[in-house]
Amino acid sequence: MMNYFFTEEQQMIIDTAKEFAVKHIKPVREKYDEEGHFPTEEVKKMGEAGLCGLYIPEEYGGMGKGIMGLCLAVEEMSKVCSAIALSMAATALGTFPILLFSSDAQKKKYLPDIASGKNLAAFGLTEANAGSDALGMQTTAVKDGDYYILNGTKQWITNGGEAQVYSVIAVTDRARGSRGLTAFIIEKGTPGFSFGKKENKMGIRASATRELVFQDCRIHKDQVIAKEGMGAIVAVNTLYNSRPGVAAQALGIAAGAFEEALAYSRQRKQFGQPISSFQAVQHMLADMATEVEAARALLYATAKTIDAAGDAKAFAKESAMSKLYCSDTAMKVTVNAVQILGGYGYMKEYPVEKMMRDAKITQIYEGTNQIQRNEIALGLIKENASKK
């Protein structure tokens, strides 16, 4: 076993998340996947176990264990079910705008209930015609005295309808381009704010994905994050911080699928011997294990680097690398895990087909892997240019 020199507290996070996953997630994952059931009960228990506020500072009710703490818990829970772990990981995505840019008053108002698991959060950036081109969004926020009036629809929002707190980006001044976007904190139940139907997805089916619909939704200016025009900066910095969380989710899926494949290969007998004795299978397992370990090393290094700096802004490239590599690894490893389990792998009685379906989204959301490569290349060019 590789030694990552975890602190005693990091080891406690791993142990707690593992125990939680085995006790509370494993028994329901198949059912929730099949029925598309949101894990409301499990999230409550996750909060009680102390796993919801790892990345939130102690002064706001969290544990102050940084991105690394968040990643360790997400990885461990995703080994068992990434969709249920996502309820917390996507909450982190929705919370980062507040954590990074909000006033102390906004932090005091929203963070403690998120840290305790009482409230979930969500991030509203994507629209039907603004995916990778997020700045091409149509949702508008028009100033009206002390209020902004929001109109438009956000699409494919994880935790949509289940979360109480939404960080939403809207256009306040189209003429100013990327400086014409503004971030708002919007609470569920605000008049003019409703949800579209729950999406029927390939994977992460226990996670809820819905549209956020704004129709003349009046939001007080006190709900603006940072200040008007800062929306794009809020959004990109949120993603720099949240991408290691997606990487951790992907890593967990990969590690979980690998463990299933390894155990199965030793128990499944063909031609009178375990299939793990065949070199064809051995080489697959060797590649899977190596890739999982490499993904883990990259992610932990990224998370520790960001935590040490106290900010992800300077590490957009590394953040993108970890998301890219972990999610590509998750896809590859889960496909091979299904292959090793053969016909059984294709059946829903075994968890690897679900892991394969769940893995795909990690290559798509919070920036497709094509966008991650753009980000990495941009970082490389910037770094090289600044040397001159």
Q: Compute the least distance from the CB of residue 73 to another protein, in Å.
A: 9
d(CA 76, CA 105): 33
Catalytic, 383? Answer: no
Identify which of residues 45 and 198 has a Cβ nearer to another protein in the complex.
45
Range list of H helices, 187-315:
231-267, 279-309
d(CA 39, CA 29): 9
Q: How far is the CB of 54 from another protein (least distance, A)?
A: 8
Q: Please state the closest distance from residue 370 (CB atom) to another protein, in A.
A: 37
Query: What are the residues binding another protein (CB under 8 A)?
Result: 8-9, 12-13, 15-16, 19-20, 23-24, 45, 48-51, 54, 63
CB of 11 to another protein, least distance (A): 10
Q: What is the closest distance, in whole angstroms, from the C-beta atom of residue 20 to another protein in the complex?
A: 6
- Please identify, using beta-carbon distances, which residue of 14 and 364 lies nearer to another protein: 14
Partners of 194 in the β-ladder: 213
**Whole-angstrom Cα Rg for the chain:** 21
Return the number of the residue (20 or 184) whose C-beta is nearest another protein. Answer: 20
Q: What are φ and ψ of residue 128, in 5° steps? A: -55, -40
Which is catalytic among the residues 75, 76, 318, 366? 366
What CA–CA distance (Å, rounded) separates 304 from 78?
A: 20
- HSE value, Cβ hemisphere, 13 Å, CA-based, for 175: 0
Task: Please say whether the beta carbons of 52 and 115 come within 8 A.
Answer: yes
The residue among 23 and 266 lying less far from another protein, judged by its C-beta, is 23
Output 46-51 pairs: Cβ under 8 A, ≥24 positions apart. Answer: 46/20, 46/87, 46/88, 46/117, 47/116, 47/117, 47/118, 48/117, 49/16, 49/20, 50/16, 51/13, 51/16, 51/17, 51/20, 51/77, 51/88, 51/117
Q: Which amino acid is at 31?
A: K
Q: CB-wise, 20 or 325, nearer to another protein?
A: 20
Catalytic residue list = 366
